Structure 1
Amino acid sequence: MQVGGKSQTTWQPLGWTGASGGGRVGERRWRLVDVAASAGISTQQVRNYLADGLLPPAGRTPSGYRMFTERHVRALAVARRMAEGHGWARTREVLAAVHRGELPAALAALDAGHAELDRERAEIARVLGAFETVLDSPAAAVPRRDARIGVVAAQVGVRTSQLRLWEQRGLLRPHRQRGTGYRVYDVAEWRAAQVVALLRRGGYPFDIITAVLDELRSTGRPDRVRAELARREQDLHARSLRRLRGSAALSDYLAETVPAGTH
């Protein structure tokens, strides 16, 4: 095939004869209803999977009925296993590329899915590290009444302009005093200003600081923050294993259908 003046080779599944063919010679034919029954889904769902590229092209009988083979049944099982770990959107992207004969695109999409988990795992670790930094620091005295921006800035050790900048970024949420319009920080926002100042001095980026503040504001208690982060980490481990099993199913499927030397 010529693409942009250059020759480009695409692979085709072993023994597959395309949409007008019926699969491998002598291979068992499956009815649409039987393919659906193999996965416990409706025949319309099978049609949808076929249209989305989750299944390889299906041949037609002389009378116009679709012809399915064991490869369709195998692809259906792989799609459902992949969806458990990668989600349907990613699964459609990967398998559609596989069935178009675009293996590099399929692998790139698969790699992107695993990379997402790696980034999420790193973020949890960074948030937990930032949170531990907050807990390990000596607690500064916080008054039991509201304070204006100048008092808070002096206590936290930054300029008032810095507090305003953090407010613009959504990190701080002081309210306005009636009549004067002055910024007023309650106890919670005073502590939030301390957290931001501490983490900024520690070199943490704003996205991590935002995550720490969100956790503290949503739970209100440090032990709950730890528990929530631990729960997310365990959930991530479980999703990672499901994604790995989905990728393994795809690997087996490719080994059965992609010619040797192309994978």
Structure 2
Amino acid sequence: MARNLQSSERLRPIDLARGHGLSTQAVRNYEEAGILPPAARTPHGYRTYTRLHAQALEAFLALVPGHGHPTATAIMRAVNGDAVDEALRLVDGSHAALLEDRRTLRAVEDALRGLSPATGSTTRAAPKAGRTFIGPLAEELGVRPATLRAWEAAGLVRPRRDPLTGYRVYDEADVRDVRLAHQLRRGGYLLEQIAPLIAQVRAAGGLEPLEGALRDWHSRLSARGRALLRGAAALDAYLRRLLPE
């Protein structure tokens, strides 16, 4: 695979650093991490960089917002190590994760729109015939019973106790709360963030209390999508300079 590592323009570490708002030590660290291709050295041992290194740095900095620092680092190391297919696999993985997060958000919205005032109210009716217990519910969601107990301790769900056995009994409203907590956790929300949202849903019985959070979630996913596009464009520009056709 032919690689274009030549350029008539020579850049000092300080030139590369200042052009991207970094310290010279950060530039050296990026080179040592494989984010930049190896730099040439002067007879006195000083590093010299080229426009290729500047473009590699631009690609990395563009990749970070969408992929995160570890994945962006792995992508650049793969490219600079002649493993372009591995770099593209990592890029695909980030896009797949974003798509899964979009599906999770839609599932949360669908779950909320399915609420009725009866099931969302703070007034709790007697358990229905379809009540369930912690083991089957945990198995259905693919979590451990200990997870449901942790959610209960955090105030996300409030199952009754069977007066004879002491077992937790989840009625229709409890199951709804557990499903909602599960979806929000998949969306990256912390337990302390979920508890007040579920409390609002119980009180209002509908989607309105979560509309602000859902709009924010949509905005964050859209920002990630745009960031992935910008990262892809910068990476493609670097690849075209590194591996001219």
1:163 maps to: 133
2:66 aligned with 1:85: yes
Once the two structures are superposed, the pairs formed by residues 50-199 of structure 1 within 5 Å of their partners are 50-135=31-116, 139=118, 151-152=126-127, 156-159=128-131, 162-165=132-135, 166=137, 168=145, 170=148, 172-174=157-159, 182=166, 192-193=173-174, 195=176
2:200 aligned with 1:221: yes
1:117–1:142 CA distance, 2 compared to 1 (3 A)? closer
1:193–1:209 CA distance, 2 compared to 1 (3 A)? farther
Query: Following TM superposition, by how much is the alpha carbon of 1:182 offset from its aligned partner in structure 2, in angstroms?
Result: 3.5
| Greater relative CO (CA pairs within 8 A, separation 6+) | 2
Q: Is the contact between residue 75 and residue 88 of structure 2 (CA under 8 Å) also seen in structure 1?
A: yes
Amino acid in structure 2 at the alignment position of 1:103? V
* Residue of 3, 28, 31 corresponding to 1:13: 3
Query: Following TM superposition, by how much is the alpha carbon of 1:235 offset from its aligned partner in structure 2, in angstroms?
Result: 1.4
Amino acid in structure 1 at the alignment position of 2:79? V
Amino acid in structure 1 at the alignment position of 2:45? G
Amino acid in structure 2 at the alignment position of 1:13? R
Q: Is the contact between residue 62 and residue 234 of structure 2 (CA under 8 Å) also seen in structure 1?
A: yes
Query: Following TM superposition, by how much is the alpha carbon of 1:128 offset from its aligned partner in structure 2, in angstroms?
Result: 0.7
Q: Is the contact between residue 130 and residue 209 of structure 1 (CA under 8 Å) also seen in structure 2?
A: no
> Unpaired runs of 5+ in structure 2?
139-144, 152-156, 202-207
> Unpaired runs of 5+ in structure 1?
1-10, 17-22
Matched pairs, number? 219
Once the two structures are superposed, the pairs formed by residues 233-244 of structure 1 within 5 Å of their partners are 233-244=218-229
Distance 2:56 2:108 in 1: 40
Q: Which has the larger radius of gyration?
A: 1
1:182–1:144 CA distance, 2 compared to 1 (3 A)? farther
Secondary structure, counterpart of 1:120 in structure 2: helix
Distance 2:26 2:81 in 1: 20
Distance 1:227 1:80 in 2: 30
Query: Following TM superposition, by how much is the alpha carbon of 1:129 offset from its aligned partner in structure 2, in angstroms?
Result: 0.6
1:254 maps to: 239
RMSD over aligned Cα atoms = 3.5
Distance 2:184 2:130 in 1: 17
Amino acid in structure 2 at the alignment position of 1:88? H
Distance 2:122 2:88 in 1: 57
Amino acid in structure 2 at the alignment position of 1:221? Q
TM-score, normalised via structure 2 length: 0.75
TM-score, normalised via structure 1 length: 0.70
Identity across the alignment (%):
29
